[in-house]
Structures are given as C-alpha cells and as structure tokens.
Structure 1
Amino acid sequence: MAAVDDTTSPSTTEAWRQRLDAEMARSGEWPERSPWIRLAVAALPRDRFAPGRLWDWDGHAWRPVDRDDDPGRWLELLHRRPSRPAVTELAGNLPSSSLSAPAVVVDMLDSLLLEPGHRVLELGTGTAWNAALLAHRAGPGRVASIEVDPDLAAAGAARLRAAGLDVTVQEGDGGSGLAAGAPYDRVIATYAVERIPWPWIEQTAPGGRLVVPWGRLGHVALTVADDHKSATGWLQGLARFMPDRTTATAGAPARGFAEIRRSTPPGPERRVERNPAELQDWDLLFHLRVVLPEIQVETAVDEDGVSAWIHDGASSWATLSSTPEGVFVHQGGPRRLADEVDAARDEWDGLGRPEVYDYGMTVTPHEQWTWFGSPDTGPRWPAPA
C-alpha cells in the first residue's frame, strides 16, 4: 500500500494543523507583537494535548467523537475553526471542561506579555496545552500549573512529560494560587471568575501581570502596583469561558427563566419602541454584564424579528416579544428587569456606545470595580460581592 502524503491529504493530522495555521493567518489571529506564539503552536500542536474523546453537539444532544473510531472528525473538531473550543468533559449533560478555542488562547497569551525567564503561574491545567505553550516561551522549570480535578492534573502532567517539557503540575484549588512558588512574574487563569482572588495578586511580583477571564464575556490584563496594594488594567477581548468549578458564581444563576416565569405571574403588558435586536450587540451585552452582572439575556429570531428573554436567576423575569403589531414587554417579580435593561442601554448610549476595550478594572484586597475610560476619573461599577 502506498504511503499517505501527510502534507496534502485532508484527513491527515499535518494537513489539519496547516489548515488551522492558515485560517488563523487569514483572519488576523496571529498577533504581530508576539510572533513566538505562532512558533510555539507549530512546535506543540493542539491535537497532541487533546484527550482521545471529544464531544460534539449535533443540534439535539452531545455525542462522543473518539479519535480511534473517527479520527477525521476528531481532528476537525480541534482544527477547523479558530474560534471554536473543543469540549472535553460533560457534567449533567453540560460542558464542564474544554480545550479553549485557538484564537482565545492566542489572544490571552498575547495579553500576558510573556518573556523568556519569567516565572509563571497558571490556574487551571486542563489539557495542559496552554501550560505547554507557556513553557515553550518561559523556559524549563519556569511554569507551575494548578488543577482542581485530580484526573485532569495527572493527564496534563503526563502530556507535558511526553512533550519533554519541565512544568510543575499540582492538584489543588486554583482560587488559593500556589504560594510555594511565589512571587510570579506572570499569572494566567484558564477559567472564569466573577471576582479576582486576592491571593493571585499577592503571589504576583510588583509590576507583574495577570490575565484572567472575568465573568461570562471577556478577559482582563492587570498590572500589580509597585506598593503591592492594588492591581489595575484594561479589558482585552470578548470570549466565553468555563466557570470556576469550586464556587457558585454570580454569572451562573441557580434558577432558569422557565422556573422563575412559572412561579411569578406577569404584570400588565405594554408596547415599547426599543428594538430587542439591540440586545444582540456584544458591546452592549458587555455593558449590561458590568452594570447588571446577575442578569441573563437570551435572544432568538423568527419571522417577526428578534425577541428577548431576561432573568436574574432568582425571582424576576422579563420578555420583549416582536410581533406584527410591534414589540411588547411582559415582566414579573419584584424587579422590573426590562426597565433596568432600558436604563443600562441609555447609560451605554450616553457613554458613546463604548467597546469592551474602553473598560478597565481595579482590584484591592477588599474591593474591586470596573471603570470606563479612566481608572481615576471615569464612572465605576462594583464587582459582585
């Protein structure tokens, strides 16, 4: 039998790797200020750190895709789209762990401003691909990673050893950091938190940098002050992240829309002029996340236009329904959520409809808040307690 040409066959691993590289280049995902990242991804490709089973949503349910049974589809899930994460675990039929989208991994590494020789702490080892890329840049023995899941920690450590990388992997709760190796020059988290744990900042050297997914919609890059009493920095980009496994976050409501709606009757219906399609704007959604962090917004489109479902995860809900006669609001519960969202939209308009990059965050031992425009003079909103 003739040998398969690894560089041309669309079913081969190398061809899929090259396809991802080219698509990242075409869409401008490779950062100009961090050319090392593209070299690291080529040296340590994503598929070398993926488990043998991935999960694919077929429109109705999650189904397993095993490397041994369907290698082509397995590779496609890893390499076809720069913006697509690969789901690696389910819990309660919902994704609980993933191999982050290549574009997101690259964006966060670029935000980290990592240099050779830096001591790095990673929160959340996962598959260990991110730890491998960090070690490729920082050097042997410079990266420590902590993972709460003992199976993931063991598997990640094994993959790093197989790749010939000297990385310390420890099982434990990332929320407490890893004091034994402090201080670190760089700290990066691979899962979302609603509040930045102060130990992460305590364990970062003055002038050091942290890159952390914040809540449901983005990551922030913070620089630790020289006096070590605060950290501040700008929001860097929009993406969705897996939440912290060890705590209930404000972004993960205990009750869903249907349950709240059933238990809380609506007030009077009214017609409004606002178009629910505005609630599909990611920059507006980010502002809502800042101002009303507990609010969940979902939208859908049908022949009458965009409709929206809003709830607070506790006791209040609202709907904005597009009909041939116009848009109608229903809401129930102690809060008037449609009115609160309208007020937040007006505030966003008044600020000039800013993008995520116009916001920043400041963290102190006892307080943290998001600000707009300037950390000293701009409006600010406290993070959830």
Structure 2
Amino acid sequence: MAFDGMEEGRSALGRSLLERNALTTDWVGSFAAVRRADFLPELMWPYDMDSGTTVAVDVREEPGLWFSYADADVPIVTQWDDGKSVGRGDVPTSSASMPSVVFRMLRDLDVRAGQRVLEIGTGTGWNAALLAHRLGHDNVVSIEIDASVAAEARDRLARVGLPVTVLARDGEDGDEPGAPYDRLIATAGLRSIPSSWLGQVRPGGLIVAPWGTHYSNQDAVARLEVTEDGKSAEGRFTGPAEFMKLRSQRLPFAGHDVYVPQGVGGADRSTTTVTEEQLLGDRFAASSFAVGLRVRDCYRQAAAAREGVRPVWFYGLTDRSWACVMFREGHDEAQVWQSGPRTLWDQVVAALDWWRDSGEPGYERLGLTVTADGQRAWLDDPSQAWDI
C-alpha cells in the first residue's frame, strides 16, 4: 500500500538518523531499499516513550497517520498478551523497535560481506530483512518463539523478495545445526546470555544483545566478542535501550503482598538524605543501571507520585527481603523501612556511593563477561569483575 507523502517521511527519518549517527553510511542502502512500513500490521499501537502510553492506529481508517508513525523514530507495539488479545491488551509482548535503536545495534554488529548472522527475536521481520539485504538472505537465520509471529514475518520477508529462514522455536537454544555463525544479534531483552550461544558463534565473532538486570526494565546494548577458545564472551556496553524481555527471562516477581502481607509495621525504620532524583534519575540513567549491577537479585518498583508523596519499593528475588523509601515533596529526608535477611536499602545506598566514587561512569565504562558458569560485570577492567 502506498500513500502520498510516504517517501518524504522516510527521507526525513533517514536524514534524522544520519544526523544523530544512528544510521551509518554502510547501512544507508538497506534503509532505502527495505521499508519499515512493509513489516507492520494494519492495526498497530505506536508507543510514546515520555508518557508511556500507546495509541491504536489502523491503516484502513487513518492511512496518513499510520504511515507517519511507520516512518517515525518510535517503537510500535504489534502484539499484546502473547497473542491472547486481538486488540489492545494488558501487556505488550511483541513490537517494532525504534529505527534509531535498530540501526545502532546493526552498527555495533559490524557485519562484513559473506558473514552469517543468527538473529534471536524475529518480531516483524524488518531487522532480518535489513540484514538479508546487506548480506544475502541465505546468510541470515532468524528465530522467533511465537509461531504466529514467525509465520507473519516469514510471509512479509517473502513478499519483499528476502526469504530469510525463520525458525519457530525458543531463541535461548540458538541454532546448533546451523552453527557456527559470525554474528549473533538479539532483539529481545536479556537478563542472562545463554551459554549455548557461546558455542554457536565463531571465535572472534560478536554477540550484540540488549542486556540488563531485574532491578528495572532498563537494558543496555552489550557488544561481546567470543574468545578464541569459544568458552566465553566479553565486551562493553554501547548505550541504553529498553526491549521486551525474552519470554523465559521475564521478571520472576511474586507480587507485593507476598513480601509485605501485614504492612510495614514490623520493619526496621530509618531515614535517608538520598533524593528521589539521585535514586531514579531519568529513564535511562546510568546510575540506575549501575545499581542493578551492584545489588544482586533485586527488583525496584517506583510508584506514581500522589499529592507530593512517592514510595519506591525494593524486593529480593531470591529471598523475601524488602525495603521502601517514601519521598515527600519539600522534605529533606525520606522515611525508610526495610525487612528480611538482606538490608536492601543499605545495599542500594552503597551502590550509589560506589557509582559516585567511581566518577559517575556512563554505560561505555561498564562491561560484561559471560562464561558457561555465569556472568560477571566490571568497570573499566575485566580483571576487576564481580558476580551478578
């Protein structure tokens, strides 16, 4: 389907991506040849990052608006509740990522002619199509856990003449029969890099994946190089992102009432001078990402502010430890409650102090090492890593 002004919108998006160094010159040809619009469903839900809301847009009813979103640098929800909801549901479970994020990750992947790429998380198929245009469809294999999403992507890829092999299976297992690959890219958020992937990427090859901790929904793009022995992968983070999580690695949170069934009455009480801004920062604050690296197995949940009061909760994911800090507008100190085998708030404060004492590092100073035995994070130097 075409629409007047469509190419103008795509050109504007391309210029914007180039100006922001998200789209590199080696990917311009693929951007021009492979339209995002060809991989989006008729009914979709563009997402506003600032407000955290989505709006339903149907190309059959509002073609101009639909194409303006297709060529905008916004994420677009394409499925709710793992496909159980036909219309808008409760939880978004598949999407088309922001074009700027797509091309930044492709830049990090650093593909060369003749290389083979394994993609985890086909989604709409646009990312696979971009890779196929650059490398040839025979050099790209994509894995999608949802069979219906896989089938739709397979059809779209075939329609644009880029018939990538799309496997309907769990991406955690990778593709052992097709290995080894030169590159592996994941388009779903991870909390643990599967050890199976290490043996499926050639020594010296790259794994590019959005990775984070359960502390928040925040991810950062990890760019890991597989070692010569193929037993580990290591590298730095290149910048912030936020992805829907791999289904098998979604947040294992039992719910607030399991932790605090009787309220905060029996908890230890104290106060803190840590401010709301210092704790939360903006959506992609490096400080929050760093705290997640330092405080293991902890989930932070910030409630909405009401009448100048905002509680922020912390829950231990391997025990029943919990903490709450209550911020009040106009107050220099906040009330703190904590209970359980771990003093979670004390650990969060220690992590914030560590981040400040380390010179307030951004993502580029933080790194990740993955082996079959687990994962380790580090600041500046892999030899100074700690378990996560």
1:353 aligned onto 2:348: no
Give the TM-score of the pair, scaled to structure 2: 0.86
1:289 Cα deviation from its structure 2 partner:
1.7
**Which residue matches 2:336?**
330
Question: Does residue 1:17 correspond to 2:10, yes or no?
Answer: yes
TM superposition shift of 1:338: 2.3
Counterpart check, 1:296 vs 2:300: yes
CA offset at residue 256 of structure 1? 4.4
Task: State how far apart, in whole Å, the 2-side matches of 1:323 and 1:160 are.
Answer: 53
TM superposition shift of 1:239: 0.7
Taking the aligned partners of 1:20 and 1:369, their CA distance within structure 2 comes to 38
Matched, 1:67 2:64: no
CA distance in 1, matches of 2:47, 2:113: 39
Tell me how far 1:313 sits from its aligned partner: 6.0
Cα gap change, 1:13 to 1:371, in 2 (>3 Å): same
Paired position in structure 1 for 2:374: 367
- State the number of aligned residues: 364
Displacement of 1:76:
2.9
Give the match for residue 85 of structure 2: none
What is the identity, as a one-letter code, of the residue corresponding to 1:103?
S
* 1:102 alignment partner, one of 94, 99, 108: 99
Q: Distance in 2 between matches of 1:342 and 1:119?
A: 45
In the alignment, residue 219 of structure 2 is paired with which amino acid? L
Amino acid at match of 2:274: R
Q: Which residue of 2 aligns with 1:9?
A: none
Residue of structure 2 equivalent to 1:134: 131
Partner of 2:30 in structure 1? 40
1:115 aligns with 2:122: no
Q: Distance in 2 between matches of 1:101 and 1:60?
A: 14
Q: Which moved more, 1:166-175 or 1:104-113?
A: 166-175
Q: CA deviation at 1:46?
A: 1.1
- Work out the CA distance in 1 between the residues paired with 2:200 and 2:112: 18
Distance 1:236 1:86, change over 3 A: same
Aligned residue type for 1:382: D
Instruction: Please tell me whether residue 30 in structure 1 is matched to residue 37 in structure 2.
Output: no
Contact 1:257 1:311 in 2 (8 A): no
- The answer to whether the Cα contact below 8 Å between 1:253 and 1:313 also exists between their aligned partners in 2 is no
> Which segment drifts farther, 307-316 or 65-74?
307-316
Which shifted more, 184-193 or 273-282?
273-282
Give 1:179 shift: 1.3
Moved more, 179-188 or 214-223: 214-223
Match of 2:224 in 1: 222
**Corresponding letter in the other structure for 1:157:** R
Alignment CA distance shift 1:325-1:164 (3 Å): closer
Instruction: Measure, in 1, the Cα distance between the counterparts of 2:18 and 2:361.
Output: 28
Shift of the 325–238 alpha-carbon distance from structure 1 to 2, 3 Å rule, reads: closer
The answer to whether the Cα contact below 8 Å between 2:221 and 2:240 also exists between their aligned partners in 1 is yes
User: In the TM superposition, what is the alpha-carbon distance from 1:209 to its structure 2 partner?
Assistant: 0.8
- In the aligned structure 1, how far is the partner of 2:252 from the partner of 2:182? 35
Superimposed CA distance per residue, residues 85-113 of structure 1 (whole angstroms, 9 cap, x where no aligned partner): 11111115111111011111111101101
Question: 1: distance between equivalents of 2:52 and 2:32?
Answer: 35
Task: Give the conservation status (yes or no) of the 8 Å contact 1:331–1:337.
Answer: no
Q: Give the superposition deviation at 1:297.
A: 4.4
Residues 252-261 or 220-229, more deviating: 252-261
